[in-house]
Structure 1
Amino acid sequence: MAKRTQGKHIKHTPNIKPRTQTEQISSFLIKSNTPYVSAIKKITKQLENFEKLTGIKKYQSQFKQVKYITVKGMGKCLEKTLSVGLYFQERYKVDILTGTVEVLDEFQQEDEEDDSIYKKRLVSSVELRIWLKRD
């Protein structure tokens, strides 16, 4: 059995930053405190914007290359992410990809301010790809 680390637990998010402006606009991260209905509304709005191809003129040609919107969730919000996927599965083609993500945890010792212990752990993740309908 693993030894329990004493001290203050500081959780760090994994490095899942989108690389380009188009990837940033076409991806949506669901957290544990994201309300279900507002996530549905935001994703619906994104889908409508990409289908109409109305948006920022600067990125218009890049928006035409987008084929799907990515919705990601990990840890305790897997169920919420999958229920969002089931909601959109009625009207769109939805691909579900599962995997694990490596996360870094920091433990700060209570008696020593300078020393921190870092530990890696694996967290389950799910990625939804909601495919656009373009005429």
Structure 2
Amino acid sequence: MQNLIICFGLGIMVAAIIVGIIVFMICRKKEKRVQYYIHSFKDCFREKQDIRLTMLTLLEKYKKNSKEAEALKAGLYYLDKSILQDYDSALEYIARLFDDDRVDKIHSQSIHFVWKNRQGIIALPKKGESDMRGGE
């Protein structure tokens, strides 16, 4: 009876160790995926300075049927087909996949950067309209 209890205890301990190793490996793999995405997003955005172009470039870096590629495709589809076409919702597809605050932070920074750059752009008058500031 005592041997049975010892064997049962050892079995539980071995199972706990195996589960711990599996959890550790999954977390480590996720961390590598997050780091790769963050690094790639920063590099592409620094070069392109456009979120849509950055998403297209990142799509080329991932395997065709990977989870990351599917999330990027969904975000790009949202940008192309939705009424609002906002970057925040488009990037939410990939942010949900990674579920990491660092990804949310670089997305927010890039949206803020694009928004600030677009504030300084003045729309040109339509063809045939006179400039309101100069007047006639």
Is the TM value for this pair above 0.5? no
TM-score computed with the length of structure 2 as normaliser: 0.25
Q: Of the two structures, which has the highest relative contact order with CA contacts closer than 8 Å and spacing of 6 or more? A: 1
* Structure (1/2) with the larger helix percentage: 2
TM-score computed with the length of structure 1 as normaliser: 0.26
Rg larger in structure: 2
* Structure (1/2) with the larger strand percentage: 1
